[in-house]
Structure 1
């Protein structure tokens, strides 16, 4: 089950569980659409995988399976893997 992390790893922007701006890779690294499409050019800087829109968990399921509260922020910013 996806963690639904609460923020962008690059700029620390809040990304609530119902945000249509959240993008993830297959390892659930989470970025806002601005960072994903801007400096990252659609590629996860952690694993090199592609970034896709994060699914939205329906409210009833969100109540039963809440989103993560663990923030991951990398102050060095968005630097894609070479």
Structure 2
């Protein structure tokens, strides 16, 4: 099963490309680095930990 690589931050709608730095929780909620820092690496949707999303191979 592959990750769904969402293309926008779910808080501020910043564009996130496949190779952009982004953070996800276990439900694949996706956030940009500044929004992740603002929530102290806690998903505002489910309360789970936000970890760095793996980058796709080029």
Question: Where on the TM-score scale, by shorter chain, does this alignment land: which range?
Answer: over 0.9
CA RMSD of aligned residues (A): 0.7
Question: Which protein has the larger Cα radius of gyration, Structure 1 or Structure 2?
Answer: 1
Normalised by the length of structure 2, the TM-score is 0.93
Unmatched tracts of structure 1, length 5 or more? 60-82
Query: In 2, Cα distance between the equivalents of 1:53 and 1:42?
Result: 10
Unmatched tracts of structure 2, length 5 or more? none
- Higher-RCO chain (CA-CA 8 Å, sequence separation at least 6): 1
Query: In 2, Cα distance between the equivalents of 1:33 and 1:23?
Result: 7
Secondary structure of 1:36's counterpart equals: helix
Partner of 2:23: 23
Paired residues, number: 57
Normalised by the length of structure 1, the TM-score is 0.67
